[in-house]
A and B are shown apart, each in its own frame.
Chain A
Amino acid sequence: MKNYMERTSLDARINPIFTALVTSFAEQSAKAFGLDHAGALKLTLACEEIFTYLCGIDKGDKPVTIEAKNGLYFVQVKILFDVAHFDPRAFNLTAKVSLDDESGLEDMGLLIASRSVDRFSINHDAREGTGVVLIKERTYPEITWAESTAVKPLKGFTITAPDPEALKLFAHQTVSTYSDNPYPPDFRFPGKLVDMVASGEYKALIATDNYGAIGGGVIWRWRIARKKIVECAGPYIFGQPPESGIAEKLMDALIGAIAKTEAICLINEYASPELPKQYFEPLGLVDYYGPDGTFVPWCLYYRLLKEDVGSQVWAHPELEDFLKIQYKSLSFARKIVLTSYGGEARPPHSVFASQFVRTQRVVTLRPVWDGIDVSVNLSRHVQILKNEDIQTIFLEIDLGHAWQANLVPALRENGFTPRLILPYAGRADIVVFQYREGM
């Protein structure tokens, strides 16, 4: 097995004289960690764009650290820079956009970088620091055929962690059995799924009999950077009658595996028809947009893994009714404390962190910094993302921060509507808004 989680790092300064060194470091690391030539060049291009962008906005010769990590199925490059002199405005996706001159969009290094990689995020956090994360995944062969392999009802089964071959078989069976139902896109690349499990990103359990026949399975992983939430998919069941209890046993095993971890909440974004509904509660609907503009309403299921001890949340009056309805429907004990701006001084410029998942044409925005320009800034973000042909735009606010709760009027003005609550997902609950044209 490859020695995944290897890391390399380079300390340099934000100065064009280091550009060749930075790009060479990124390219050689990417190749050493298993990216093919084309993938390595794309990651290098993204890295170069970011570094050049930094050089353009900061002439101070400040330190920068470039870290490369082998995630087995991906290579990540993280560019970390001096947080002591952080200029938040510069790290909006919209930093150089002129609304009067849309041609300016083409010159944006941040956007160009985002196009070259599979996942891209800009973050500023007091503890994590400021940085840009670029992730390029390795190339894996996609399932080109999905022959349905009939599985007879198992006479008995055990729940077990699959070996790589069983995992690939599980992926094939899922793709062939659930052609009309959602499953994570990773299932279409069985080798990638194997590497994702080997790297520890995904966990998997399957139900097998003594002869190795697979009656079903389930996968899950910790939501990246949100250690309190585990997201799962399935359970996927192959030719087994409901009375087999396989779906329930898989859920019992999954929940048992995470019950004593830091996870507070289990979310299922890819519920199969066989999902034992008694294990979950419907959290709400979001919409996923296709390239043709059509959208599919998508139900998220979840269960809390701990007893709700109740908590307090900040809320702008415009969100109060939504929260009351949601909390009542979900039976959560919450003290809603209203907040709104009272004319106090605010910083001039707001900042949003952007997380792209290019493969799914989804972007999630998260407020990082408050500012008077928040509504205009958000409008620019939406415009840029639409120009990038990204229609599925989420925005999350953390009700543990009063200033984030106060962003609600700006969100409304820009077509964002609250869709659902992720309990305990941040400092307090997180409200997920979604952009909808014309709203």
Chain B
Amino acid sequence: MFSIPLGSLVPEYIKKFEPYVPSKPDQELMKMYGCERLYRLNNNENPLGPPPASQEIIRQLWPPKAGIYPSGDIYYMRYRLAEKFNMHPDQFLFGNGANEVIAFVIKAFCQEGDNIITADKTFAVYEWVATFSGFEARLVPLRDFGFDDAGMLDQIDERTKILFVCNPNNPTGTYWNEDTLRNFLDVIGGRQIVVVDEAYCEFVEKEDYPDGMKLVEEYPNLVVFRTFSKMYGLAGLRIGYLAGNLEVVDIIRRTCVVYSVNTVAQDTALAAIDDDDHVRRTRDLVRTEKAYLNAELDLLGLETQSGEGCYIMIKLPMSDTLAYRKLMSEGVMIRSMTGFRFPNWIRVSIGKHEAMEAFADALRKILAR
């Protein structure tokens, strides 16, 4: 048998990179932790699931369709989005979840020695993809739980290619209003690509929250990310996209993996995109349950960070990874925040009332021990 010379084959930046370990399937975790039911409140999934029309497509799936390649460039969906946002179909690019389009953008613009800029406590995948691709990720500390626009601008140098802004931010729920975003884009003046990740935009009801799609025409260096994993409940099918200036998207398309979005994902997303009632019902649920949970957390005297989005951050008087294990034993799965550089904080996704009650009860129990 050959011995593989991994020491010389593997780049240094890969050796240093720590792979992400996803959680085991629910059934395995329930066996391990000895619980009979498990409320998943760790991934900000929509408790209502996909809209009804999407659910019907899944139920009616014609099995032979699984043997046929999907549309390689997500044809119908792009045309539908173009109509919806009054843009050209070629201004959209899809990926196997928004995670994949992050990689497309970084690959398209960065080369050896380049850097990207984002926040230190935000969605981790911008930093990960840059790092395991061999590029520097410059991390600017949050200011009052929000992205620090001035701090990010200060970090720009001649090798900066992309700035990532998560709006609203996961996990803190803070957001830049339209004035802040416009000012940021004005100062940058088109010299770098600015990515605004709007994964949770459909949850935001604030008047001053900017719609990135409307700014693309005005700012050609702006790239907007959106996903069907959150509001549209299609996380298990993996479909997300980016939108931007025609020329910019044409460049990004060169790094894009075609056929990575499956047929069911395309069909269900197409059925979901116009379901405003689903959006309304989800917002109502999130608003109601967030208020309930915040009240419960107030009673427990816990510090919280509750902004936009379908999640709340809670500071605990114990290690968050210990809280994760104890809550798992009670049948509730949350996200520990050490990995987001928020030690002793947890993030809980907003779920149905039964799940929120179960979480509040479990939290009371573990804090009382």
A residues adjacent to B (C-beta < 8 A): 251-252, 255-256, 259-262, 278-281, 303-310, 330-335
Contacts and interface: CB of A to CB of B under 8 A. Distances in A.
B343 A333 contact: no
A333 B328 contact: yes
Q: A-B pairs with the 10 shortest C-beta distances?
A: A310-B32, A333-B32, A304-B321, A331-B325, A256-B341, A255-B343, A262-B18, A303-B319, A333-B33, A278-B317
B206 interface: no
A303 B321 contact: yes
A247 to B, nearest CB: 13
A307 B343 contact: no
B257 interface: no
Contact of B344 (A278, A307, A335): A278
B362 interface: no
B127 A279 contact: no
Contacts of B31: 335
B61 interface: no
A307 B321 contact: yes
A311 to B, nearest CB: 8
A3 to B, nearest CB: 20
Contacts of B325: 304, 308, 330-333
Nearest to B127: A260
Interface string B6-25: 00000000000010010110
Nearest to B343: A255
Interface of B: 18, 21, 23-24, 28-29, 31-34, 120, 124, 127, 316-319, 321-322, 324-326, 328-329, 335-336, 338-341, 343-344
A280 B33 contact: no
A256 B18 CA distance: 15
Contact of B21 (A251, A279, A306, A334): A306
Contacts of A306: 21, 321, 336, 338-339
A310 B333 CA distance: 13
25 contacts: A255-B338, A256-B343, A259-B338, A260-B124, A260-B127, A278-B316, A278-B317, A278-B319, A278-B344, A303-B319, A303-B322, A303-B343, A304-B321, A304-B322, A304-B325, A306-B321, A306-B339, A307-B23, A307-B335, A307-B336, A307-B339, A308-B328, A309-B24, A310-B29, A331-B329
B343 A310 contact: no
A276 B321 CA distance: 16
A260 B325 CA distance: 20
A426 B321 CA distance: 19
Contacts of A334: 32
A128 B28 CA distance: 34
Nearest to B366: A331
A307 B22 CA distance: 9
Contact of B23 (A252, A259, A309): A309
A228 to B, nearest CB: 10
Residue of A261, A333, A335 contacting most chain B CB atoms (<10 Å): A333
A308 B321 contact: yes
Given A310-B32, A310-B33, A333-B33, A259 B321 contact: no
Q: Max chain A CB contacts within 10 Å: which of B127, B324, B326?
A: B324
Nearest to B324: A307
Contacts of A305: 321, 338-339
Q: By CB atoms of chain A within 10 A, which of B18, B321, B344 has the most? A: B321
Contact of B120 (A256, A281, A309): A256
A208 B232 CA distance: 48
B343 A252 contact: yes
B341 A259 contact: yes
B301 to A, nearest CB: 14
A260 B339 contact: yes
A252 B315 CA distance: 13
Nearest to A334: B32
A307 B326 CA distance: 11
Nearest to A304: B321
Contact of A278 (B24, B127, B318, B324): B318
Among A261, A262, A303, find the residue whose CB has the most chain B CB atoms closer than 10 A: A303
Contacts of A261: 18
B24 A310 contact: yes
Nearest to A228: B18
A310 B322 contact: no
Nearest to B131: A260
A280 B344 CA distance: 10
Contacts of A262: 18
B38 to A, nearest CB: 12
Contacts of B316: 278
Given A305-B338, A307-B321, 19 more contacts: A252-B343, A255-B341, A259-B341, A260-B124, A260-B127, A261-B18, A278-B317, A278-B318, A278-B319, A303-B319, A303-B321, A303-B322, A306-B339, A308-B324, A310-B24, A330-B325, A332-B325, A333-B32, A333-B34
Contacts of B319: 278-281, 303-304
A105 B151 CA distance: 65
A304 B337 CA distance: 12
Nearest to B6: A127
Nearest to B23: A309
Nearest to A278: B317
Contacts of B33: 310, 333
A307 B333 CA distance: 10
A299 to B, nearest CB: 16
A281 B127 CA distance: 30
Nearest to B329: A331
A335 B328 CA distance: 15
B126 to A, nearest CB: 12
